[in-house]
Structure 1
Amino acid sequence: MNHKDIKPKIRSQFNIPYNVDYSYDAAGYRITIPYKNLFDDELNGENRILMNYKQDGVEHNFFLGFKQIDPNNLKATHSKGKYFLITHDLNNDLVIDVSNKNFFNEKIAIEDDNLCIFSKEFKGNLFLDYGNPESQIPLAYNEDKHCYIVKINSFLDSKAKLTYENKELAVHKKSQVLFLNSKKGQIIVDTKNDFTFDISKYEVLSIISDIAQRNSKIDITIDYHCSDKYEGKLKSARLYFKNELDMMIYNLSEGKID
């Protein structure tokens, strides 16, 4: 593990007080951990970084801390079958959670009104997990098609995680968002957060497919998809711009649905 003293550009991010008599030339530091040092299976599990320094002849030891992480914006990466999740514990100590993963890395599609997650091998029993035991929906593994299958009609109206029987989260090698359309419902598969699966179903889904400038105006093309029960029933739509700062909603445009 290597470290380098740095002068932080924005002191307020690190809660460093300001004083004209202070020197900030080494008020921060950057730690570099080569991947090769983390591949030993003995490091599987939660790892912390122990800091050591001397001041006035007294030796101090503490675990490196980290600002609180939004659970919906965790930091993860992977390499050579190892999965690294950067998080923190209740004491806000930085935690590098290392584990071996059997990654998904094949096609995800809708076929015959089923969501199909392809895998050349059976990786274990999978479930759509909506947060409680009563709302777990199992996926069946089809050995002929080499994929996990679940009927779109069985989805609930909230976001699900893809988990194994022991509650371990399934992970994909790619960070991506897939929009899958069918007459039984529109499915969004999102693995951008931490390579884990967030899967949601919508009856109606509108996707911006193109934005172009035309003279003093902006043309926004939106693709509209709906399940069969809404087919032909929606005749118009409004496009809104929402400002998160003042919580205002502005009506941009209204048009007919082709």
Structure 2
Amino acid sequence: MGVINLTPDSFSDGGLFNTPERALRQASKQLKAGATVLDLGAQSTRPGAEEVGAAEEIRRLIPALQQIRAAHPQAVLSVDTFLAPVAEAALEAGANWINDVSGGRRDPAMLPLIAEAGCPFVLMHSRGNSKTMDGLTDYGTDVVKSVLQALEEASDCAELAGVQRDQLIWDPGLGFAKTTEQNLQLLQELERLLQPGVPLLLGPSRKRFIGAVLDEPRAKARLWGTAAVCTRAVGAGVAVLRVHDVAPIVQITQMASALWPIG
């Protein structure tokens, strides 16, 4: 899954792809490099980010989404949003997936919309919002158990709203309301998060915890740390990797898949 941020303030590439023309060029580049899904986001979810609201998200998102869809009619397009009006506009404009960092928490209209649309839904674990999540990292001694329980509970809520289990893709939410040590524990014990019939998505790309381990403050310089995490993910059986640097990660995952063939 290639990341395309249509924002001026995302943590590692804000402002690089925030016009439809730039977004289309990046989409074409990522698809050529081997991305099988593109994830478009028009609201930064980095720690401390200001929420811009549905109208501004839609203004940023839809022209780029329409251009990418027209140029690449067969591409699988995901939209990263926690607001139902944005998700609805995106699906009408040709999006295939919705990727909700709140797991359906933030907007009560989201789960009924997903149920009606019948589309894949990335249900991510998080707590609070961009302003508060760094203070919500108390999971006791077993963060993996807590995240797994929260994902199950969120899935139950989704199913009660009419979402089918086979629409769901789980994301443990690396970097969202988690310390460096907690992110590492989740990665070390990824297999505990694998549940029958629910693919697992992981978004490690350029994250702050990688910078902490490598003592690397520059987000774009964290490629090799990201690569190490992706190799671990392939070995564990993760289904989708959400990354910025598609071309090198495609090669890395191809090699890792040859070393740890799934099944």
**Is the pair's TM-score, using the shorter chain for normalization, greater than 0.5?**
no
Higher relative contact order (CA 8 A, sep 6+): 2
Higher fraction of strand: 1
Normalising TM by the smaller chain, what interval? Answer: under 0.3
User: Which structure's CA Rg is the greater one?
Assistant: 1
Higher fraction of helix: 2
What is the TM-score normalised by the length of structure 1? 0.25
